[in-house]
Structure 1
């Protein structure tokens, strides 16, 4: 998930709330006529809850089980208060787990010690408490990230990355599983699908991390895997994209086998390719292109129908020259048109009021304008906000403005 403090794009988120038709619905439909169609189809109103490095929750590692649970419930209650209908909870942040997994250790973000039992089941609790409040629970997994450092000895001794050191590559100050190894792809699927088999989650959700974001002067040293498995491809880039395609396609198939009705959604970086690179690309000049830099052909996944929804991180303001929200959203709407794949736009709530961001983000109405603009595109089925702590704090009232302008009444999530 791209956020503050990271490289900018130039260098380089069972039960649902019943949709109740009231006088308020009629007013909302009059003010936002394009939303009348969504009243029947549902509208995604989600927020991401990031756990890696304790970004959103728990607020610090090592809190008591009761304190952790109370903080989680507070986030869910805040979502209900704002008439959201889905939370996207990060449950596998660094090849570890927020449930009692037989594949991977307990997550370090809980206790401060990877592998230490926190004394409760965060994912199980999140599912039951979210559903009790009419919220969907989308379980957010990171397939390949192992650690935000490069020292395997800091991982718990039983960690699969230590048991299988040949699976792991250091890059850019982090450790990653090697996507080019079939045994890695099989393992990470098994690890993620364990949660699908155990809990009545509403969706499996991935963010933008596949092959790592490029780091100047660094080499992702997958020569051996390429020599072993890349012979049928014209170049390494094509082989890497095929590795990512395989992970997406295989996971999609296996989810349906494990639990019917569970959806599969991906939230990629917002630019597939620039039009200057590919005539099918967007009218942007972003320095990162998922197809070329992350080896993630996000457009293909939509066109092939491998995923149920896509939530591109269109984390830029309307009018930004290099990546204009008002140009990217129509590109994504055109991409999903006729595919049956849902489009839920990832929104950069975290930028609202940040003095380091462009002037547009100092205006509390910027995000609300995004929803006004999106209302002109019937392919847009809703929005997801990054992230929960910003939904809670809302320093300049940008989220409150969205709710006042667009979420006057409750709505069910799309199915």
Structure 2
């Protein structure tokens, strides 16, 4: 369990970032969790906190946000830096990225665990990824995914397992792949295109392989979500994708473009069903290219002049939203406000309209990698302006940044600006459809701890996956509604140490319980304490 004790104060963050890095920061959590994320100690039975019956849960729906970052593993973009480094070095690098997320008051990571028909776990279907050891198929000596999950959950970071369904290799030589690779065993599934190798999405066995790979992880690991990015059929690289023989054999007279879209639809629909049947609390989300179709091609499209995911990679994301196959969608809106081809402001409005009236959550993919890249991105406040604009649309539930290394680098101070302007306090994740709030916790206690800190503990609640801790100045009523603005921590386990309490100051702490889908209980009886003077 992570027990780093670093001040929440903004001065500490500024000092860490001025040193050129975002160090780990947050309120230490106490206690452990089981496979479902529920606290491992004796739970509170349902309805146990009758003393505060009738007190509502903090109504923070507008304040709730998913705040995440992608951790790309292909090519060592974010991690691991330099395949083949020792397990200890790799673990240290990964936890440093997670601490960056915590420092930024983020609450989710999107980690690429199947980049090239390979695996960051011991898979019965595919070889170990080359991006871990430098050699595809070589055992790294530890369960990489289990380690990543444990460390993410210890920091109460939601873990979205990121899969690429069809990409085989960034090299076009099949013989360089491990003997265990399905592409070596079934070369008839593979197509050379551009500089790499791809599975043909029109072959049913290919879709089944991708589905089995996902469901193997869903069944064996305590992930919070399955995540796809924008790679379906490959992006155009001159010439047509070589699936003519597959289309001739399986096209059944359909228009070729419609047939390709149907192939992708079949994978998305089937995976959605299987994931939710296996574990209803595991969500399924996709991060498509930011333009579905231009209005010039379709009146329902956006007022843009860009590549179209519907036509160019055969991904009908709008249909997936309307059909309810997705729990969330995270379009990659990697353009600045006012861009002549694809204006960020236009696209946020368009995507907000698509999810309106559905249960699909909308989060926005933000291009942190673009900061400083050209004249349009020289201003480090550009991404902060994006988040300010998002606040005009109640359908926008948060943001995910590509990628972790850029957040950690804090180029031109853009990450500091984001935290100062938007992420100064922690946030609970938006509640998803299904599930229900656990019963309130009991036996909340607060007492002085160590050098001026306060230790807050509670007895875990049955069915709870995490807990929210609120702090109010002064002595307040034990049973009272809580303003969501007073949230100071969201953790797993049965307690926290609050290092940001000011010595000699009196506070009242309230604790709520949340299920796996972030439904929140009413607050337990508040407890009042005066922080010690050190």
Q: What TM-score does the superposition give when structure 2 sets the normalisation length?
A: 0.69
Q: Is the 8 A contact 1:138 1:203 kept in 2?
A: yes
Q: Aligned pair 1:242/2:262, yes or no?
A: yes
Q: CA–CA distance in 2 between the matches of 1:104 and 1:59?
A: 22
Q: 2:192 aligns with which of 170, 176, 195?
A: 170
How far is 1:366 from its partner? 0.5
Residue number in structure 2 paired with 1:226: 247
Residue number in structure 2 paired with 1:271: 291
**Within-5 A mapping of 1:384-399:** 384-399=400-415
Residue number in structure 2 paired with 1:298: 317
Larger Rg computed on CA atoms: 2
Q: CA–CA distance in 1 between the matches of 2:182 and 2:376?
A: 45
Residue number in structure 2 paired with 1:5: none
Q: Identify unmatched segments of 5+ residues in structure 1.
A: 1-13, 17-34
Q: CA–CA distance in 1 between the matches of 2:61 and 2:285?
A: 22
Q: CA–CA distance in 2 between the matches of 1:36 and 1:102?
A: 43
Q: 1:140 aligns with which of 140, 158, 162?
A: 162
How far is 1:348 from its partner? 0.4
How far is 1:257 from its partner? 2.2
* Higher strand content, 1 or 2: 2
Partner of 1:38, secondary structure, is coil
Q: CA–CA distance in 1 between the matches of 2:389 and 2:94?
A: 32
Residue number in structure 2 paired with 1:131: 153
Point out 4+ residue stretches in structure 1 off by more than 4 angstroms.
Answer: none
* Higher helix content, 1 or 2: 1
How far is 1:267 from its partner? 0.2
Q: 1:340 aligns with which of 345, 356, 359?
A: 359
Residue number in structure 2 paired with 1:38: 62
Q: CA–CA distance in 2 between the matches of 1:399 and 1:15?
A: 30
Q: CA–CA distance in 1 between the matches of 2:62 and 2:70?
A: 22
How far is 1:232 from its partner? 4.3
Q: CA–CA distance in 2 between the matches of 1:68 and 1:207?
A: 24
Q: CA–CA distance in 1 between the matches of 2:94 and 2:115?
A: 16
Q: Deviations over 1:62-99 (max 9, x none)?
A: 11011111111111111011100000000001000000
**Count of aligned positions:** 376
Partner of 2:191, secondary structure, is strand
Q: CA–CA distance in 2 between the matches of 1:36 and 1:97?
A: 38
Q: Is the 8 A contact 1:15 1:134 kept in 2?
A: no
**Within-5 A mapping of 1:27-176:** 37-39=61-63, 42-176=64-198
Residue number in structure 1 paired with 2:511: none
Q: Aligned pair 1:360/2:382, yes or no?
A: no
Q: Deviations over 1:225-282 (max 9, x none)?
A: 111211142x100000000000100010111122221000000000000000100000
Q: CA–CA distance in 2 between the matches of 1:211 and 1:170?
A: 12
Q: 1:252 aligns with which of 247, 256, 272?
A: 272
Partner of 2:198, secondary structure, is strand
Partner of 2:411, secondary structure, is coil
How far is 1:36 from its partner? 6.1
Q: CA–CA distance in 2 between the matches of 1:36 and 1:404?
A: 20
**Within-5 A mapping of 1:301-340:** 301-340=320-359
Q: CA–CA distance in 1 between the matches of 2:96 and 2:62?
A: 28
**Within-5 A mapping of 1:192-211:** 192-211=214-233
Q: Identify unmatched segments of 5+ residues in structure 2.
A: 1-35, 39-58, 433-534
Q: CA–CA distance in 1 between the matches of 2:290 and 2:343?
A: 11
Partner of 2:219, secondary structure, is helix
Q: CA–CA distance in 1 between the matches of 2:189 and 2:368?
A: 36
Q: CA–CA distance in 2 between the matches of 1:142 and 1:258?
A: 21
Q: CA–CA distance in 2 between the matches of 1:178 and 1:333?
A: 32
Partner of 2:69, secondary structure, is strand
